[in-house]
Amino acid sequence: MIPDRTETSVLLDEALAGVAVAFQGMTAHEQESNCECHWGSAEELALLKTPDVPLDDDLFRRTYWTMDWHYPGLLLRRILPQVTQHLVTGRIVLMDGLGSLANFFAVSPWHEWPREQQAALRKFLNVWWVHVLVEPDAKVPAHAALSFLAEATTELTPWLADWAEALADEPARRHLIQAMDEWMYDLRGDALPWPSWHDIDAWAPALQLWVIRHAPTVLREYDASAELLEDIRRFSLPDSERYDKPLSRWRAGRPWPE
């Protein structure tokens, strides 16, 4: 059952505190290194090897944006309390989007971390996702949070199941309307609407099926075009029937760009 906004706020504070405790004292590997010419200075690298010192936005971004670290998992543990705070405030989205951070999770073997650290991270991701779905003032769009969570955890369907349950509430429905604008161009071509390091062949059909099941009712509520609803209906048809006439150029009542 999806908790209400008040309960979610309490749970989110608890999850943030849990991450802060579980990852207190974490540092980069003592032998970690990177190119001073292209990444940053020795002094900045030394900060990553110093526990619990907040990083400025530029150093923080360069840490998760860089993909050629020798020990990325330790670096992710070092910055994770700051990561979780910035996810809640939306600061990561404003700085760089979630794609680079998702990639950093993908190359960091966090599933092999100590059990209590895995549990703290899992709890935060679960609660933050609900916060995004139910909080009208959430700083991250649900479609952006979904792609991040899928890439970070190598799972898609559990997050979609939560979203489906949350559609009883207005914020989650509005998120779905926004997501359809972002997704339809790619989904009409059977493509996943974000770059993925994982099982694209399985995820795109799963997302299409979820849209077929849950989007039409919400779209009708918001007076979406008949053309858009028809495009969604075609996802369930075999290829020989899907392309017997041109696909709509409309998204939630607005034309696609030329």
Tell me the pLDDT tens digit for each residue of 163-221. Answer: 999 999 999 999 999 999 999 999 998 899 999 978 678 999 999 999 999 999 999 99
Query: Dihedral, CA atoms, 151, 152, 154, 155, nearest 10 degrees?
Result: -90
pLDDT at 159: 98
119 shares its domain with 173: no
Q: Do 151 and 108 share a structural domain?
A: no
| Look-up of token digits 């809640």 | 88
| Residues 61-72, mean pLDDT to the nearest whole number | 93
Overall number of domains in the chain: 2
pLDDT at position 248 is 54
Boundaries of domain holding 117: 1-140
Tell me: do 227 and 104 sit in the same domain.
no
- On whether both 126 and 176 belong to a single domain, the answer is no
Last residue of a domain, one of 77, 112, 140: 140
Nearest-angstrom CA–CA distance, 64 and 70: 13
- pTM, to two decimals: 0.90
Do residue 129 and residue 18 come from a single domain? yes
Given a contact cutoff of 8 angstroms between Cβ atoms, the answer to whether 154 and 186 are in contact is no
Of residues 97 and 153, more confidence is placed in 153
Give the model's pLDDT for residue 97.
76
pLDDT recorded at residue 211: 97
Which residues on adjacent β-strands are paired with residue 251?
254
Distance CA 151, CA 197 (A): 7
